[in-house]
Amino acid sequence: MFRLIYMFFYLCGYLLYSLPSLAKAKKLHAVNKAENDEKIQTVPKKWAAGFLRHSGCKLEVTGLENIPDGPVLFVGNHEGDFDVPVLMAGIPKPFGFISKIEVKKIPIVAGWMEVMGCVFLDRSDRRAAIQSIRDGIKQLKAGHSVLIFPEGTRNRGGELGEFKAGSLRLAKDSKVPIVPFMIQGTADIFENNQNRIKPGKVKLVILPAIPAERYEEAGMEQVANDIKAIIHEERDQHLKGA
């Protein structure tokens, strides 16, 4: 419990500390140039690395060589809340999340997510959800990378949920590569520990990219199933070796 309280104050303190940087980031974001993404995300990535370090999370990342140049759609499994800092700290390429609309209500956090190029998705409003997908496509076409959890919710380290093919429309309509990733261990740090932070090891594996030509030939439903199968197999291998 002490660690959870400590991390809460760490988060709040860092957010307040980041306000001057957020003001500068908003000016860079207004220009909407992909080359500014790395500068904008310097502070969020430092926060993510510090958050993992202070929480006792030891991150192991493999497969970074599989990330191609240019904008990509990152697609992977969603174990728990710690997935967010793990991905921000583990993937050097700047990207924005497709995030649930509720996060937009959190002061300062929402501001940082907007300048990072995140897109807020309201699942309860079909029309708004369609517009969010269009916004994500626009981001990718402008040269910004995007990350989505096609399961739509946390699986807490259990069976993978359905990988919704509709979420991959982001890649199809923008004609960018899909980069699958596998996360293993984040749920054990928080969700599976009665929502208390427990130090542990997390593995992030970046899998080979899927070029646009591949999923245009196979169809998005098939690609979604293939990605889920690849991630499932990768996770099983790591669980057996744990």
Q: Residue 34: is its pLDDT beyond 90?
A: no
How far apart are the C-alpha atoms of 201 and 66, rounded to whole Å?
22
Burial class (CB in 10 A: 0-12, 13-18, 19+), 150: buried
Strands 200-206 and 178-184: antiparallel
Model confidence, pTM: 0.94
Look up the CATH number of the domain holding residue 28. 3.40.1130
Question: What band does 241 get if pLDDT is binned at 50, 70 and 90?
Answer: low
Give me the helix-helix angle, 19-31 and 2-17, nearest 10°.
Answer: 60
92 φ, ψ to 5°? Answer: -70, -30
How far apart are the C-alpha atoms of 97 and 80, rounded to whole Å?
15
pLDDT in tens, 66-100: 999 999 999 999 999 999 999 999 999 999 999 99
Do residues 206 and 64 touch, judged by C-beta distance below 8 A?
Answer: yes
Q: Which residues form the domain of 6?
A: 2-241
Rg (CA), the chain: 17
Residues paired with residue 60 on neighbouring β-strands, in sequence order: 203
pLDDT in tens, 209-227: 999 888 777 778 888 999 9
How far apart are the C-alpha atoms of 47 and 15, rounded to whole Å?
9
pLDDT in tens, 102-144: 999 999 999 999 999 999 998 888 888 889 999 999 999 999 9
Domain count, the chain: 1
The overall average pLDDT reported for the chain is 92
Q: How many residues does the chain have?
A: 242
87 φ, ψ to 5°? Answer: -70, -40
